[in-house]
Amino acid sequence: MKKKYLSIMAITIAFILSGCFFAQDDKSPEQNEPDNQVSVEPKEAEDPEEKPEKSEEDPIEEIDLSIQPNELGEIMILMYHGIGEEEMDWQRTPDNFRKDLQYMYDNKYQMISLNDYAKGEIKTKAGYTPIILTFDDGRQNNFNYIEKDGDVVIDSDCAVGILEEFKNKYPDFDVTASFFLNTNPFGQSEYTEQKLKWLVDNGYDVGNHTYSHLEMETLDSEEDIQAEIGSVNNIIKSYLPDYAVETLALPHGSNPKDAYAGSVMEGEYEGSKYKTIAILDVGWRPAYSPFDTLTDFTSLYRVTASEINVDNCGMYDYFKSYENGNRERFISDGNPDVVTIPKRHEEYLNMEMVGEKTVNIYEEN
């Protein structure tokens, strides 16, 4: 008996050392032999007062596996530019943008912020897929003020106006977006401060799209890169002193030379420091889950939010692939502190991103 107990201890320790302790299935054959069960479960099993964890709700038991949660499925980071009267390569009409949002809502997508994605904080409700909206270039038609009956109001056909329309219509859509800005955010310089403050106060984010919109690979010094990024950070900071700009969209999707990659992540310009947690490329496919070892937060894929000239890599091509089951989308388990994945994806789980969260691995039927 004693010998068997020791061998089970050794197996248990081996499991812990090999990182398998989060696999909740007690399927090792040793533990299924009736003779062993006495020694596997020592005294505390008989003392109910000594088991505070068991009396609390078990977060894993609360998870509904019938919705097939898959927190290693893909998440789309949509890349929009303008919203305007004519449908073009880098512009969506107001009605097409409304169509996109309606499709997302009707097909169980729920918006999250890029910043939350980069931190692995997914608060999406059970059975839903997170989706991230980004707008590059800080165009006036992203956030436009107009005069109406003597008042200054948000243009109902600009991006923010349409997003607010959906926020009011569907509070559970969790409407948010990130706007990537250059030197003159949203035109109308008389309203810059008002717009930036309004965005942050209303649950939106702003990110960096650099000072000159140059291709990063053409820059040949750390100083140049720090000036391109730091100057825009300082402009935003001058209006939003308490807001941390943590995200960057690379102009033209151009990456810096390897030697200067560090300056994109961290740097200083005119006495102000910046730190980047997520860098966005331009195309052409959905991003991986933040918990996926394949995710590179310094080079995140985006999907072009358009239906023209997208080479079968536009947003609706991927939406259709998910509908047909040709690709796997992230399906939330509903608990931000638990990461639930099908066993077949186990090898891709990035435990560093999981951190303190509970891992829940299950076998599909």
Return residues touching Zn ion (CB under 5 A).
136-137, 251
Burial (CB < 10 A; 0-12, 13-18, 19+), residue 290, is: buried
What whole-number distance in Å separates Cα of residue 85 and Cα of residue 65?
Answer: 45
| Cis amide linkage into residue 284, ω under 30° from 0 | yes
The residue (of 231 and 335) whose beta carbon lies closer to Zn ion is 231
Min separation Cβ 263 and Zn ion, Å: 20
Residue nearest to Zn ion (CB): 136
Looking at the Cβ atoms of 314 and 334, the one nearer to Zn ion is: 314
Closer of 136 and 246 to Zn ion (Cβ): 136
Q: SS3 breakdown of the chain: % helix, strand, coil, rounded to 5?
A: 40, 20, 40
> Rounded to the nearest whole angstrom, what is the least distance from the CB of residue 328 to Zn ion in the complex?
30
Residue 178 near residue 163, CB atoms below 8 Å: no
Write down the residue that tokens 């991230």 correspond to: 132
Q: Which residues contact 19 (CB under 8 A, 6 or more apart)?
A: 351
Radius of gyration of the chain (CA): 24
Q: What is the closest distance, in whole angstroms, from the C-beta atom of residue 233 to Zn ion in the complex?
A: 17
Cα end-to-end distance, the chain, whole Å:
37
| Pairing between β-strand 272-275 and β-strand 266-269 as defined by DSSP bridges | antiparallel
φ, ψ at 53 (rounded to 5°): -65, -35
In this structure, the strands spanning 205-208 and 272-275 are unpaired
Q: How far is the CB of 150 from Zn ion (least distance, A)?
A: 35
Output the six-digit token pair for 15: 């499991």
What is the smallest separation between the CB atom of 333 and Zn ion, expressed in angstroms? 35
Between 74 and 137, name the residue whose CB sits nearer to Zn ion: 137
* Alpha-carbon gap, residue 80 to 88, rounded angstroms: 11
Residue number, 163 or 216, with CB nearest to Zn ion: 216
Q: In which residue are the tokens 């997208």 written? A: 310
CB of 138 to Zn ion, least distance (A): 9
Which helix (DSSP H) or strand (DSSP E) does residue 134 occupy? strand 129-136
The nearer residue to Zn ion, 79 or 122, going by C-beta atoms, is 79
Q: Between the CA of residue 354 and those of 48, 65, 119, 120, 193, what are the distances in Å?
A: 31, 20, 10, 8, 37
**What is the spatial distance between Cα 337 and Cα 356, in angstroms, rounded to a whole number?**
8
Minimum distance from CB of 213 to Zn ion (Å)?
A: 6
The least CB distance from residue 340 to Zn ion, in Å, is 36
CB 120 within 8 A of CB 137: no
Closest approach, Cβ 222 to Zn ion, in A, equals: 22
With respect to Zn ion, which residue has the nearer C-beta, 137 or 281?
137
Which is closer to Zn ion, CB of 75 or CB of 249?
249
Count CB neighbours of 311 within 10 A.
Answer: 9
Nearest residue (CB) to Zn ion, 139 versus 329:
139
| Minimum CB–partner distance for residue 257 and Zn ion (Å) | 20
Nearer to Zn ion, 236 or 331 (CB): 236
